[in-house]
Chains A and B, each alone.
Chain A
Amino acid sequence: MSLNIGALAADSRRRRILVLAVSFGLSFLAMIILILVLNILGTSVDIFLVMDKTFFEPLRKPKMVALIFFWTAPLILTGLSVAIAFKAGLFNIGSQGQMMVGGAAAGIFASNIVPKTQALQFMNRPLIMIPATMLVGVLAGIIWGGIPGVLKAKTGAHEVIVTIMMNQIALSFVRYLVVSQTYSPFVDKSTGDAYGQTSAISKSAEIPLINSSFSTFLDWSIVPTILSAIIIWYLVEKTRYGYRLRAVGENISASKSSGINTNFAIISSMMISGGLAGLAGALQVQGNYHKYIFNSEGTLGFDGIAVALVAGNSALWIVISALLFGYLKQGSLNLESSTDISKFLIFTLQSALIIFIAAPLISSKLVSLTEKISRPRNVESEVNGMSQDNGGGTGGEDTEGGEI
């Protein structure tokens, strides 16, 4: 199954941006409709207050802007995680579970295994410990993402279903590891709190803050994040491996017959995908919380899907798209803390966005409609130099043809 979705399936950059703009507009409209429905149901919600808190508040104070960047870092990684699987034609919904497992593994490694093992004391210095903890998170993610990859390649098990199952297994397994006070050796038992967490990680594994007077959230984990984005961009766009990956994503049977090792492409892309999500989990533990807190990743793994879709799965655009979603996330948190509206309001915007991008026919029909109205056809073909796609065929329908 090849996945060609909306924004990236659109044929030109101009049209892609148009489709995105229309999708954003429609999603925004969907959100406003929900607020109106709330008003009809009898709760008085000031729509201007909602807009102000969500969209303008995050930009007012520097501390808030720092928080946007704080949310952006894990979103970049989960977005990349979803995107690289998409490149190979796979849909990894498992970023959530992979991130969770990565975070838990990193937290347990740095809080329990290294400090409590005599033989590993030589590791207990920042130069070794910081990368080692990251690596543990990445490895855990690789295992969690690799299993669906191997099963897809060897047995044809649908990766979407397997990753959903892996998410649920991760949820149970991590809950055992860090919540189960009586049974698990890794739970912080000092607090007696029902809220599951490991004890604090070793000081040497912590990633320092960039500037503690500017923000107590923003840390240097943005650096490995941006580095991974660049590496993934290079890997996908510039190397032979990336070319093969994209070929498998475009047409698996053609790639197979032209001698590409499709199994390797599937397994490795899922492993990289899992590794990136695992890294996101580890960086959260090392950078900010300094311990693994159960469910502290919230919905960052699922948000990665929207991040990747909006960016058209291009690694560099993911950075921009993650920034946008980081901004929305902070806005929604502001909204919840100052009004009666749940932060999940932003989910409606996000899901509407996913829908319009996944169903390219809706927005690209609208785009072609407006194009037809706004200018005569022959002028358009001159301007764009793309007379071949004038027949009203939109991105979505073209996708259809290419899918078989």
Chain B
Amino acid sequence: MVADFAQIKKLGKQIYGISLVKTILSFLIAFEILVVYLWILSATLGLGKVYNLYALNIFVFRESIDTTMLRSTVSLSVPILITAVGATFNERAGVINIGLEGILIWSAWFSVFISYTTGNIWLATLGGIFAGALLGFFHALLTITFKAEQVVTGVAVNLLALGVTEVLNRAIWEPARSAQVESFSPVDITKIPFIGDFYSLLILSNYYDVPGIGGVFRWLPDIFNALNRHNPLVYIAIFLVPICHFFLFKTKYGLRIRVIGEHPQAAATAGVNVRLYQYISVTLSGALGGLGGTILSIGVSNKFISGMTGGKGFLALAAMIFGKWTVIGGALASVLFGFFFAFGIDLSAGGIKGFVVPIEFYQMIPFIVTILALAGVIGKARAPKSIGIPYSEDEE
């Protein structure tokens, strides 16, 4: 049974896009649901006073466009974002990888180790990416060549990475955390000659004193200010998103990957080397996850602490699903998740006076919305058709 290649191609083109209007609208709806969720929690748990829902809307909006909040949103979401982008590649190629959590912790450890031994942070970054790619390749070897059950080996990859890093960490540094190592420091874009001047024009807080528009700008999120002063890896990661999108959805190589995820036999009939593309996709996903792990360790901190990934790999998986198996969607979902976290940290520390919802209730939001998305309550998420099935030539 060989499906029509052209038909598959058409299908691939149909399902990649997410329209801008829809995205903005869903952001607004999500915001309102968030406010109501918090209001209900605050009222039922009886922790703070019961707020007027309208006033709460204003408060939460003010809080959510706060520049500090947005900046921590960026730093919290970028590791998830780049891992989610990587996950899109392997899922599109028809391989589930729930070992992302393991890839994150393993590459986080490895980059700290390289930084510790060589003192060179860029070498450490390359080492982290390489470590992630290596583990991705290992997963590819198991699932593609040895046709193992993908979810089960994913669990094994997680356990393996956790076990090996813990053992190495304790053997080299004795306690649960590593020594302090060389790490990245934030860069101020406005200080860069030429580009910096242009960038300064985009920062809204520079206009706050201008009569008229200044008052309006105070009610807008100061995105470019929040994007400033992060470590260089964050910009690399953000820069990679459009490139990955272009690669996966605009080039013939990307098309081949997507067709493999839908119908590998059809791709093989059209002369595509299915296994090679799957190997490349899964390894690439590991490499991007490795970058994510590196950002988590030497990007924002200067040491390795056991358990420092804290479910961020699973969060990336959730973001990829919530973004409906697209690069841009996954990236936006990661930003949304990062926002929830930053918001939770901010509000549970008393961002709005007298309004308390325990931070745990913010932390579970991403997972709840992903389950809802999977169940079809929020839009329709559809996984690639042949996902989880090891490819072999003689089937169907």
CB neighbours (8 Å) of B374 from chain A are: 151, 155, 157-158, 161-162
Interface centre among B149, B160, B389, B392 (most CB of A within 10 A): B149
CB neighbours (8 Å) of B155 from chain A are: 93, 302, 305, 351, 354
Evaluate contact between B163 and A345: CB separation under 8 angstroms.
Answer: yes
Within 8 A of A (CB), among B93-109: 96, 98
Within 8 A of B (CB), among A140-157: 147, 151, 154-155, 157
Question: Once the chains are docked, how many angstroms separate the CA of A91 from the CA of B389?
Answer: 15
* Chain B residues with a Cβ under 8 A of chain A: 45, 47, 96, 98, 142, 146-149, 151-153, 155-160, 162-164, 166-172, 174, 311, 314-315, 317-318, 321, 356, 358, 360-361, 363-364, 367-368, 370-371, 374-376, 383, 388-390, 392, 395-396
Evaluate contact between B167 and A344: CB separation under 8 angstroms.
Answer: yes
* Chain A residues with a Cβ under 8 A of chain B: 1, 3, 5, 34, 38, 41, 43, 45, 91, 93, 147, 151, 154-155, 157-158, 160-162, 164-169, 171-173, 175-176, 180, 183-184, 302, 305, 309, 340-342, 344-348, 350-352, 354-355, 357-362, 396, 400, 403-404
CB neighbours (8 Å) of B395 from chain A are: 400, 404
Tell me which of B146, B160, B392 contacts A352 (CB under 8 A): B160
Evaluate contact between B142 and A168: CB separation under 8 angstroms.
Answer: no
User: DSSP majority for the B interface?
Assistant: helix
Tell me which of A93, A352, A400 contacts B147 (CB under 8 A): A400
* Known contacts A172-B360, A347-B159, A350-B159; A161 and B321 CB within 8 A of each other: yes
Evaluate contact between A180 and B360: CB separation under 8 angstroms.
Answer: yes
Evaluate contact between B367 and A351: CB separation under 8 angstroms.
Answer: no
CB neighbours (8 Å) of A360 from chain B are: 148
Question: Once the chains are docked, how many angstroms separate the CA of A342 from the CA of B172?
Answer: 11
Evaluate contact between A359 and B171: CB separation under 8 angstroms.
Answer: no
Nearest-neighbor residue (CB-CB) of B358 within chain A: A183
* Known contacts A158-B374, A176-B361, A354-B155; A43 and B148 CB within 8 A of each other: no
* Known contacts A172-B360, A180-B360, A403-B389; A354 and B156 CB within 8 A of each other: yes
CB neighbours (8 Å) of B364 from chain A are: 168-169, 172-173
Evaluate contact between B168 and A359: CB separation under 8 angstroms.
Answer: no
Evaluate contact between A162 and B156: CB separation under 8 angstroms.
Answer: no
* Known contacts A160-B98, A340-B174; A348 and B363 CB within 8 A of each other: no
Q: How far is the CB of A165 from chain B (nearest CB, A)?
A: 4
Q: Can you list 11 A-B pairs with a CB-CB distance of less than 8 A?
A: A5-B149, A41-B171, A91-B152, A93-B155, A155-B374, A305-B152, A341-B167, A342-B166, A351-B155, A351-B157, A358-B156
Evaluate contact between B149 and A358: CB separation under 8 angstroms.
Answer: yes
Evaluate contact between B396 and A169: CB separation under 8 angstroms.
Answer: no
Apart from A43-B171, A93-B98, 17 more pairs, CB < 8 Å: A34-B167, A41-B171, A91-B151, A161-B321, A165-B367, A168-B311, A168-B315, A172-B364, A176-B360, A176-B361, A183-B47, A183-B358, A341-B167, A342-B167, A346-B163, A347-B164, A396-B146
CB neighbours (8 Å) of A166 from chain B are: 367, 371
CB neighbours (8 Å) of A340 from chain B are: 170-171, 174
Question: Once the chains are docked, how many angstroms separate the CA of A169 from the CA of B159?
Answer: 20
Evaluate contact between B367 and A358: CB separation under 8 angstroms.
Answer: no
Interface centre among B146, B157, B311 (most CB of A within 10 A): B146
* Known contacts A151-B371, A157-B371; A34 and B164 CB within 8 A of each other: yes
Question: Once the chains are docked, how many angstroms separate the CA of A5 from the CA of B392?
Answer: 17
Evaluate contact between B162 and A161: CB separation under 8 angstroms.
Answer: no
